[in-house]
Structure 1
């Protein structure tokens, strides 16, 4: 299942709705959730290990976040990739 999350901070209940193999795309301010910061990094990376984690390139650029600032394993999607993901996934659940 495809999940699109656009608000930050992200509540734990939102991620609790994901299952192994789901794809989560963080858009808008939610891209801050995958930015490496401090000691929370290890805990958050473990939280995200069961899902395919993506962010929109346009949202990173607007917030001046570089790819180097992201957790390891986060896929950066351009507009074409984002549209493909929306078309390929059988169901979309948006958490705003």
Structure 2
């Protein structure tokens, strides 16, 4: 399954609904939860062991977030890869 997470707040209950091997793409203000210093950094680091967590490069630029401030292991993708993920996943859950 592919998950799109857009807005804050992200809570642990939302993250618990993400199964192993699901792919998650973060957008908009949800990107701020991916910072190394974020409240969910430990929980998201654990998710990285079983899930692919992604951000779109242009989303980082728009918000002025440097890649080196993000959790290690996140995939920074472009819009072509986002389309590929959307096509290859039959189920998509949007968390807004």
The TM-score normalised by the length of structure 1 is 0.88
Count of matched residue pairs: 96
Question: Which residue matches 1:91?
Answer: 91
Q: How much has 1:33 moved relative to structure 2?
A: 1.2
Alignment of 1:49-88 (within 5 A): 49-88=49-88
| Range that drifts further, 33-42 or 18-27 | 33-42
- Does structure 1 retain, via aligned residues, the 8 Å contact 2:53–2:75? yes
- Does structure 1 retain, via aligned residues, the 8 Å contact 2:8–2:29? yes
Structure 1 residues 23 and 60, CA gap change in structure 2 (3 angstroms): same
Gaps of 5+ in 2: none
Alignment of 1:1-96 (within 5 A): 1-37=1-37, 41-96=41-96
- Does structure 1 retain, via aligned residues, the 8 Å contact 2:27–2:56? yes
RMSD: 1.7
SS in 1 for 2:49: helix
Q: How much has 1:46 moved relative to structure 2?
A: 2.1
Q: Aligned equivalents of 2:39 and 2:88: distance in 1?
A: 36
The TM-score normalised by the length of structure 2 is 0.88
Q: Aligned equivalents of 2:38 and 2:83: distance in 1?
A: 32
